[in-house]
Structure 1
Amino acid sequence: MSRPWSGALLGGAALLILSSQATANRWEFTPRASVSQTYTDNVNLASDAGDKESESVSQLNTGFSLSRSGGRTDLSMGYNLQGLAYWGDDGRNTVNHTFSGNSTTEVLSETFFVDASASYRDRLVDGRDGFADDTITDGNRTGVATYRVSPYWRQQFGQFASSEVRYSWDTTDYEDSSVEGSGSESNRVQASLNSGPQFTTIGWGLTYSWDEAEFEEGTKSTFESLEGLLRLNLTPQFSVYAAGGEERNDFERAEGRNDPDDTFWRAGFTWTPTTRTSLDAYQGERFFGDTYGLTLNHRFRHASWSVAYSETITTQSRVEPVDFGAGGVTEPIEDPSDLFEIVPDVFISRQLTVSVSGQKSKVSWSVRGARQEREYETGRGDQDVNSLTTSASYQLAPRTSAQSTLQWQGTDYEVDNRKDDLYALSFGLSRTLGPRTSASLTYRYQQRDSDLPDGDYEENRVTATLSATF
């Protein structure tokens, strides 16, 4: 099997070739490099104090960002090579690659477009081992590569209606042999027809979606739905709507679970009392029971709030987290129960997210909390995942700032009757040395409380970094 990161880089090269076919426009290329020195008192994340291994780690990061816009193609991509050298045990030395690229090409003016993307990064196989951004300490990691191509056609029917027909192909590939069976290939067809500007009081829409995901070990899941929507605009700021249709789904499920082929409906309202506030809420019913949705956004003078709640049916590929949208989502997510089986699964996701961020004078800050409940259709055990992330920054001087972050992740998995709590707290100082150079010093503490035997650990680390762009 070829290394997924090399495939992702080839995908990035393909994006460049596609974009080069368009009329030449200005390219923005920014190379960058940084060197860091880290000291940690528990690189192996041992539970017992006598088993802890301290370590000094030298780190080199080098990469670039590349973008272009205008003409027929918009493109952005970035690459980073991370080299880690361990002073005490050179057997841990490693090189990590991270790549991400996206492009949109307008093939026919205002009608036919092609989206393309490719990415690669290392992720923890079991998300309960630690935080995803920690590449210094020991952990079972795997490379994850994703590729996506999505041509679509847009058509305007005067003032009467607008339509879009889109086909998407995407695939996910894992480097680690223990999760290879969860690699997947997905095909999706989406079509929509929505009312145009001539409909001012009553609006309408029709949407069709077909989505099939096939996993390497042979499992398939299919989601298909047809929905019609009718909206009544009572005032310029307030409208009510009702939608309904039929879904036909096919996936593995435990005996006694509800038939996934059924009609569905939802009814709700949209309210935008000011340009700073919007609210959309609905109640409905799907094959798994009552369902609800909520999106609330409000912007104050120095801060903004966002609250979202959704209930979806999701197919998993088990390695990295994703934001869930409506319908059958087949993008990869993080599922630590892969330690026990590689069988792809489908679950009902109920997720609440609350976030707030702001800035005033010399202080900027953000808080984000989320709770997700996963109800598996195969009955192999439900999961609860909670998280909280806070960050703050204070400008001490024109070229010097202080930062702090706090992270918490709590998981409760029935499949192995295990609960885990992960905490990370960091404080740092950063200073701009010149137009393209900066330096930082950071202290980080992380801790895990776990039901896993010898699963608790604590770690302290200090990192000094010098960065430059060219």
Structure 2
Amino acid sequence: MKVAASHSCIHRVGLVVLFCCAVIVAPVCSANWELTPSVAVGVIYSDNINLEPRGQENADLVMEVTPGIDASFDGRRVDADIRYRLQSYFYRDNSDLDEVFHQLSARGTAELSDETFYLDGGLAVRQQVIDASAPVPTGTIAGAGNLTDEYTAYISPHWRTQLTDTVRADLRYAIGMVSYDDNTLDDSVQHAVAAQVENTSVADRLYWAARYRLSRVDYEDQDSITLEQATVELGIPITTQARLVVIGGAERNEFELTDGSDAPDDTLWAIGIRSQRAGRYEFEALVGERSFGDTYSLRWVQEGRRWRTQALYDEDFVTYAQTRLEFDPRSPESILPGPALGTAVGEVYLRELGQLELALNTARTTTTARVYNERRLYQTTDREETLKGFDLTWNWALRPRTTVLLSAGVQESRLLGIDTPDELTLVSAGVQQQLGRRLSGTLFLRRTDVKSDLPEREYREHSVAARLIATF
């Protein structure tokens, strides 16, 4: 059935979310918020401002002015965190590229009833690539003409209760929206329900749980998509720290297929091992079968005094719109687009995602490394999208007020509509200097290199950015 998420519907959902977020913070409006206004002023030079192929580069000098505010509240019943930046660029030789980007991450949680009823809400604004068939920018300066602001918002009431001493029930509903400034991308409204009843007994006793989830995505100009799943799980103790896990259930999916056949529905099962120890070690490995065939999942998290590692692998049906509500609070100019990069189409895909992360801290350094591989098999058009890569960041406290920052990464991507893979290499080196109690400065050098079998997609860009950041 076709459901049109009209602009008026999108706006109504946005107003509901804003109202609910106001309800969350209303009890503490007169309380002491921690507020940190700031302003950043910078000059950036790029030798390829439009990401043109080699030999056609166009250099420019860009002025940046970015006011912002950070706000947080940590109360007995309400927690809230807000980070907003208004990023304005002014190009010396290409004034038609002048642009203002909004960047917002806001989350709030309210406990409306003692340990029983909660309300979560969030708003976010970040940037989305408009046309993945054109050169894809890795920041908001060079190639900014291929970016648009993306607005996401959600509100989620959550109810939990202890039915008996060992049985707990959870019920959550969420409504969210994804909206774009560019009218070539489809806005959407999403509804989700998740319910669970589980036995919370001690580790050496039998564990059981019954779970249900339903999600529906209504697009502005496309058919709606519904994904539904119900499972029962048993955890049979093997040792005091490990269980044999057995899962059975069924799934029902509704979305259009080009050949007119029904979306894949079937029973499902999985079996595997789950183990954990004192909150510093978690391991789960499962194998099974779903409507799309054999399936596997892995979760391994382990941490020591100065390090933490995490390995994940998962397979599931998902839409790109759903991934946008899983907001990543990292800087909008992260080292590489990573697995979040994709094409904003209203189509279900089978996502096979593997990722390994390592973080290491010493007295003066912080090192993080990540390897990822994602494959997306689109169910309506039989198209495929792949992303794989590696990135590394290293921060060194050279002196008490001086930090050196180095990062590098390589990513190979094959996006929808592109018949050849692109290989992106990005290297960045910079220094951050604390000039005073409320004033700091940064200087960054950056090199971006994209190689492709299609000459029009290849480009190389070097940039230098100097900024002063004042907080008040």
Query: TM-score, structure 1 length as denominator?
Result: 0.89
User: Residue 252 of structure 1: which of 253, 256, 261 is its match?
Assistant: 256
Counterpart CA distance in 2 for 1:40 and 1:10 is 42
Are the aligned partners of 1:382 and 1:415 in contact in 2 as well (CA < 8 Å)? Answer: no
Distance 1:257 1:279 in 2: 38
Matched, 1:85 2:90: yes
| AA of the residue aligned to 1:89 | N
Give 1:289's aligned amino acid.
G
Unaligned runs of 5+ in 2: 1-6, 329-338
Tell me the amino acid that sits aligned with residue 56 of structure 1. L
Letter aligned with residue 299 of structure 1: E
RMSD of aligned alpha carbons: 2.8
**What residue is the counterpart of 2:318 in the other structure?**
314
Q: Residue in 1 aligned with 2:276?
A: 272
2:309 pairs with 1:305:
yes
1:210-249 matched pairs, under 5 angstroms: 210-249=214-253
Identify the residue that residue 405 of structure 2 maps to in structure 1.
403
Displacement after TM superposition at 1:407 (Å):
2.4
Matches within 5 A, 1:16-27: 16-21=22-27, 25-27=31-33
1:95 aligns with 2:100: yes
Q: Give the Cα separation in 2 of the matches to 1:429 and 1:5.
A: 43
Residue 72 (structure 1) shift: 2.4
Is the Cα contact below 8 Å between 1:29 and 1:64 reproduced in 2? yes
Within 5 Å, give how 1:288-299 maps onto structure 2: 288-299=292-303
Q: Aligned-pair distance for 1:86?
A: 1.0
Structure 1: 5+ residue runs without aligned partners? 325-331
Does the C-alpha gap of structure 1 residues 293 and 156 become closer, same or farther in structure 2, counting only changes over 3 Å? same
Q: 1:5 to 1:335 in 2, by over 3 A?
A: farther
Letter in 2 for 1:439: G
Distance 2:153 2:163 in 1: 33
8 Å Cα contact 2:214-2:229 kept in structure 1: yes
Q: Distance in 2 between matches of 1:352 and 1:378?
A: 23
Partner of 1:381: 383
| Structure 1 residues 320 and 454, CA gap change in structure 2 (3 angstroms) | farther
Q: Percent identity?
A: 26
Cα 1:97–1:198, aligned 2, differ >3 Å: closer, same or farther? closer
Deviations 1:192-240 (A, max 9, x none): 1011337851011011112111111131111112111111122221111
Match for residue 118 of structure 1?
A: 123
Does structure 2 conserve the Cα–Cα contact (< 8 Å) formed by 1:319 and 1:335? no
Matched-pair contact (CA < 8 Å) for 2:153–2:325: no
- The structural deviation recorded for 1:13 is 7.2
1:425 counterpart SS class: strand
Aligned to 2:189, the other structure's residue is in SS state strand
CA offsets per residue over residues 283-305 of structure 1, 9 Å max, x none?
11100001001111222443221
> 1:41 offset after TM fit, Å?
1.1
Q: Which moved more, 1:374-383 or 1:455-464?
A: 374-383
* Match 2:156 to one of 142, 146, 150: 150
Displacement of 1:7: 9.4
Q: CA deviation at 1:414?
A: 6.5
Q: Secondary structure at the match of 1:418?
A: coil
Change (3 A) 1:6 1:333: farther
The structure 1 residue matched to 2:135, chosen from 116, 129, 132, is 129
Aligned partners of 1:334 and 1:278: how far apart in 2?
Answer: 28
Tell me what 1:365 maps to. Answer: 367
Distance 2:418 2:96 in 1: 32
8 Å CA contact retained: 1:383, 1:412: yes
- Partners in 2 of 1:115 and 1:30 — Cα distance? 23
Contact 2:50 2:142 in 1 (8 A): no
SS at match of 1:20: helix
Aligned twin of 2:64: 59
Q: Which residue of 1 aligns with 2:287?
A: 283
For residues 96 and 6 of structure 1, what CA distance do their matches in structure 2 show?
A: 23
Q: CA deviation at 1:129?
A: 2.7
Tell me which of 39, 50, 60 is aligned to 1:44. Answer: 50
Q: Deviations over 1:114-165 (max 9, x none)?
A: 1111111222224573344333444411221111111121111231311011
The answer as to whether partners of 1:258 and 1:288 remain within 8 angstroms in 2 is no
Q: State the number of aligned residues.
A: 454
TM-score, normalising length: structure 2: 0.89
Distance 2:128 2:371 in 1: 22
Tell me if structure 1 keeps the 8 A contact 2:233–2:248: yes
Q: Quickly say closer, same or farther: Cα 1:199–1:89, change in 2 above 3 A.
A: closer
Aligned amino acid, residue 81 of structure 1: L
From the superposition, tell whether residues 440 and 401 of structure 1 become closer, same or farther in structure 2 (CA, over 3 Å): same
